Structure 1
Amino acid sequence: MKPLEPASVPGLMMDVDLNIALLLRRMRAIHHGSRVFSRSASRPGGPSRQTTFGAVLDRSERLAAALARLGVQPGDRVGSLAWNTQEHLEIYYAVMGMGAVLHTANPRLHEDQLAYTIDHARDTVLIVEPGFRSRIEGLRHRLPHLRQVVVIGAADQDLAPGEIGFEDLIAQVREPMAPVDVDERAAAALCYTSGTTGNPKGVLYSHRSIVLHALSMAGHDVFRISERDTVLGLVPLFHALGWGLPFVCGLTGADMVLPGPNLAPEAVAELISEHRVTWAGGVPTVWMDLLRVIHERASGSSPVDSSSLQTIVGGGTAVPEALMRAYAALGIDFVQGWGMTEVFPGATMVTPSAMADTDDGWRARTSAGRISPLYEMRAVAADGAELFRDGNTVGELEIRGPMVAGAYLDSDVGADRFHDGWLRTGDVGTIDANGWVRITDRLKDAIKSGGEWISSLDLESALMAHPSVREAAVVGRPDERWGERPAAFVVTDGTVETDELRDHLTGRVAKWWIPDDFRLVESIPRNSTGKFDKKTLREALENPA
């Protein structure tokens, strides 16, 4: 007898769409009392405001109704240009909850790229912090789709023609607009890649992908966030949906701390102490700076109280082992994961069960982690053939799943990133039989010297193990004999001689990996997402000042 096709025997479960409205209704019914603390963008050094998820939802539903009065319909794009504040959280819930699409514009982009993304997204309404008004005024002639600018925290007398105040907009509403049930495959949010090559590319998230990501990340072996946590989200809400934290916290009922624009280490330390933060996420640079402040103030009259902090999740770039060990000495688990705008953060995560203080435990901690639920990954050779999952065979990493982009928005550019139903990540690494991933480099950053590969990430990690090295970035420099040789750009605390750096690397990496060229610099340039801008470093090698 021929087996029945799965579609010919439908299940008898309710057909409920996985959409943002479903998450918001849970927040309203179950977690309305969970707290939201927020620093203001206009007063970044002032005390935090405190409210609840219930109050945030009240205001977001009024904002949704106000946006509908401005003509915003389901599927329309509404842009935000804002920091991590209560208002930005309200914008998240309002726009997605009404069935429109939120484009979180990145204020760190160059003017041309910022204008490109707002125009390409076809934003009809743009909600901005006061500090960004002048930028938008200078770009209005390049934004033909933009009808209305809404300014957060601006008084009536300060508004220009074509602007309306955020609070005035909400105050005009008599009847709030409850979250709307939409098809789970409908677009909900739009983020753009950092645009290191060519224009940024639009990643259009569906409602379904956001809900599934929140469910996946809430697991104990992934973000490990629960109702008992107070979560400090330092990653910008305009970058990869703020790692999905507005939805993970809403789903689990964790309290949420929004820092505003001030990410100086003193401000971060104050927030952790003031709100008894238990979980925090952000790029390694933030945690390097905070660690210095903790050590500097340890013997003074105002030591940093980090006793509540249990877990730090680092992402965006590889976390140096020395940094993780330094926090472990403070009793704080520092874990890392891997992700991309195209796949959400947390596609791989280091799990608690692997974090023993042993050689195997530290090998696990310094990996990218284990593949998270609902994702599949593989390593492939240059011809696209799948490689062995033995933890040793290196290839380009590819990924697929219901939270992975299948194409970029309105663009044929980047079509080569999609291969046989998989997304080519551009990262090079290994996968073992248990799904642990080790990323050895970006495909474009790997250094091939004398026919052999050198991992710039491993070299950077080894350099940052030096007690006086604050940051290190390694790129390939053309070499007539070897094809390429590594060049290291290093930021130090105090005077460090290059011979000392060479001695430090000896025994930590293969001798032929040790760079011939060390550049001691005051700072290393970064791109709009906070990663080392290696394109600029390569240009500095080609065109020395």
Structure 2
Amino acid sequence: MLRGMMMNEPLLVTSILRHAALYHADTEIVSRTTEGPIHRYTYAEAWVRAQKLANALAALGMQPGDRVGTLAWNGFRHLECYYGIGGSGMVCHTINPRLFPEQIAYIINHAEDRLLFTDLTFIPLLEGIAQELAGLKGIVVMTDSANMPRSSLPNLLCYEDLLAEQPDAFDWPLLDENTACGMCYTSGTTGNPKGVLYSHRSSILHAMAACMPDVFGLSASDVVLPVVPMFHVNAWGVPYAAPMAGAKLVFPGAKLDGASLYELFEAEKVTNSAGVPTVWLALLNWMDATGKRLTTMRRIAIGGSACPPVMIQRFKETGVEVLHAWGMTETSPLGLANTPKGKHRDLDADGTLALASKQGRPICGVQFRVVDADGRDVPRDGASFGRLLVRGPTVCSGYFGVADSPAHQAVPGWFETGDVVTMDADGYVQIVDRTKDVIKSGGEWISSIDLENIAVGHPAVQEAAAVAVPDEKWGERPVLVVVPKPGASLTRDDLLAVFQGKVAKWCIPDDVRFVEALPHTATGKLLKSRIREMVTGAPAA
């Protein structure tokens, strides 16, 4: 076999920030800080501070392979952790603060974190679980000495003081590109959360795919604000993709309400953003109430859970393109992104919206299969549904510290996502449901997502969930649980009428329950197990 004659340079995340510092040195990184003020600096300055952080970690006795946790919002110091920790051969373990405290303690202990970086916001949370965190050697508060809190936490260190003591340059190790650089735990809706280890190689390849025109489409002329948190799945890879492209980065900190996001979008001339539907619903409602419009936004990526077509339409009416996307913690996370092909130019408005409502087609490097109960591929006709399988260099092969890992490999070599989907001849995937949420009525499957999308299309509905309830005759029947918009007048019959002609009669929900709010997971998805309990009064099995 004849080998290529190319330089054998490993793919390391350090190269991303180095590139940004060298060739986009004066491009800004803007952060709304926990302390309050807006912080501004450049990629060149971030590169120096990431090296200072790497030196500080070495001075604290951290070793290659050590897990270093972060409990922090989207901000410039968190970005420095991504590169300073991962680039020096350790693992940057981002932790979701929206999980239950006992889950956070479990995750820190299971990962065997030796050091933890935290924003000021989470000091009370850590104080509540401190006795369970015996393995931690210290907690670094991501602030300056003037804002250091009084706390009962032991071994509390100041981030800015640590960096001030260190030299500006660090001798980055030449790592194997398969070395772990990041770690994120699943949200743990069933059982304990499970840890996914990202390698330098997978992170680089994922960032390259994210930058492509049919995914985030980033360039050096863009301004990117990731609403999706850096504490979950690397903010969908944006902290790697934006510096790779040389795009300006804007971090929103902890303020994710409609008014605060709009203020940053407009002040910093943001062109691209990404987040879950619940955040965008709040922004759209705020803009409707105030008469505001986004003036520089070009594209918003929406994922985490299915984006209702009405949301895509509402953004389109303001001149903003929605990129519907799909992914999981286990897929780094991007797996599908929805942009039209040339053949779709002549679609009418309804056809265009129907296409945009699908989760998308596979990004380069990731393979997808849809199989039936026996593991046989179903037709790619956009109608036949089955279980979604995925594999590729950005897909996990197992979970950290879990016996008999990899799990989810009922079909050898493929990761089973737990989604029921259809796929058409062009590769566009549409999620029918999660396997655990699909409603099985009289031997037929009813998509809860389809019912929810129709419901939220009603002008008086703010949010809706469709769940199964036991039925003696049919096995299960769908029931809608609905949050009306404030001040709206809405009846059961009003809502059920919108389903006529849009789904088969046997798919129409049997009943509607009105509630003030719906429960969500730590990552913003509808918590179907809790909603089923609300409807049936029985705990989830």
Tell me what 2:172 maps to. 179
How far apart are the structure 2 equivalents of 1:404 and 1:357? 36
Tell me what 1:39 maps to. 32
**Superposed counterparts of 1:389-468, under 5 Å:** 389-412=380-403, 415-418=406-409, 419-468=411-460
How far apart are the structure 2 equivalents of 1:229 and 1:236? 19
TM-score normalized with structure 1 length: 0.94
How far apart are the structure 1 equivalents of 2:374 and 2:407? 14
Listed as ranges, the gaps of 5+ residues in structure 2 are none
How far apart are the structure 2 equivalents of 1:472 and 1:377? 30
Report if the CA contact (8 A) 1:130-1:154 is conserved.
no
CA displacement at 1:131 relative to structure 2 = 2.0
TM-score normalized with structure 2 length: 0.95
1:74-108 CA distances to partner (integer Å, 9 max, x unpaired)?
A: 11110000001111111111101111100001101
Tell me what 2:217 maps to. 224
Are 1:284 and 2:264 an aligned pair? no
**Superposed counterparts of 1:243-282, under 5 Å:** 243-282=236-275
How far apart are the structure 1 equivalents of 2:178 and 2:427? 28
Are 1:19 and 2:20 an aligned pair? no
**Superposed counterparts of 1:370-381, under 5 Å:** 370-381=361-372
Are 1:95 and 2:85 an aligned pair? yes
Between 247-256 and 134-143, report the one with greater CA deviation.
Answer: 134-143
Are 1:518 and 2:512 an aligned pair? yes
CA displacement at 1:289 relative to structure 2 = 1.2
Are 1:496 and 2:490 an aligned pair? yes
Decide which of 55, 71, 91 is 1:65's aligned counterpart: 55
Tell me what 2:532 maps to. 538
CA displacement at 1:521 relative to structure 2 = 0.7
**What is the letter of the counterpart of residue 385 of structure 2?**
V
Tell me what 2:95 maps to. 105
**What is the letter of the counterpart of residue 273 of structure 2?**
A
CA displacement at 1:484 relative to structure 2 = 0.4
CA displacement at 1:154 relative to structure 2 = 5.2
1:30-58 CA distances to partner (integer Å, 9 max, x unpaired)?
A: 12222111001122xx4x22211111111
CA displacement at 1:357 relative to structure 2 = 5.0
1:132-184 CA distances to partner (integer Å, 9 max, x unpaired)?
A: 12322332322232101101225377455411101111111135324332110
**What is the letter of the counterpart of residue 203 of structure 1?**
V
**What is the letter of the counterpart of residue 527 of structure 1?**
T
Report if the CA contact (8 A) 2:389-2:417 is conserved.
yes
RMSD: 1.6
Tell me what 1:385 maps to. 376
Listed as ranges, the gaps of 5+ residues in structure 1 are 1-7, 299-303
Tell me what 1:316 maps to. 304
1:470-504 CA distances to partner (integer Å, 9 max, x unpaired)?
A: 11111111111100001111111122101100111
Tell me what 1:9 maps to. 2
Decide which of 76, 88, 100 is 1:86's aligned counterpart: 76
Tell me what 1:115 maps to. 105
Report if the CA contact (8 A) 1:337-1:345 is conserved.
no
**What is the letter of the counterpart of residue 486 of structure 1?**
P
Change (3 A) 1:230 1:178: farther
SS at match of 2:89: coil
CA displacement at 1:222 relative to structure 2 = 1.1
Tell me what 1:52 maps to. 42
SS at match of 2:237: helix
**What is the letter of the counterpart of residue 205 of structure 2?**
L
Tell me what 1:3 maps to. none
How far apart are the structure 1 equivalents of 2:57 and 2:123? 19
The number of aligned residues is 530
How far apart are the structure 1 equivalents of 2:405 and 2:461? 37
1:262-288 CA distances to partner (integer Å, 9 max, x unpaired)?
A: 101000111111111111111111111
**What is the letter of the counterpart of residue 395 of structure 1?**
G
How far apart are the structure 1 equivalents of 2:465 and 2:133? 37
Between 176-185 and 119-128, report the one with greater CA deviation.
Answer: 176-185
Tell me what 1:471 maps to. 463
SS at match of 2:333: strand
Between 535-544 and 145-154, report the one with greater CA deviation.
Answer: 535-544
CA displacement at 1:130 relative to structure 2 = 1.6
How far apart are the structure 2 equivalents of 1:378 and 1:404? 14
Report if the CA contact (8 A) 2:64-2:88 is conserved.
yes
**What is the letter of the counterpart of residue 182 of structure 1?**
L
Between 267-276 and 29-38, report the one with greater CA deviation.
Answer: 29-38
How far apart are the structure 1 equivalents of 2:219 and 2:168? 33
SS at match of 1:327: helix
Between 354-363 and 404-413, report the one with greater CA deviation.
Answer: 354-363
Report if the CA contact (8 A) 2:399-2:407 is conserved.
no
Task: Give the percent of matched residue pairs that are identical in Structure 1 and Structure 2.
Answer: 42
Report if the CA contact (8 A) 2:419-2:434 is conserved.
yes
Decide which of 309, 324, 332 is 1:336's aligned counterpart: 324
Report if the CA contact (8 A) 1:462-1:509 is conserved.
no
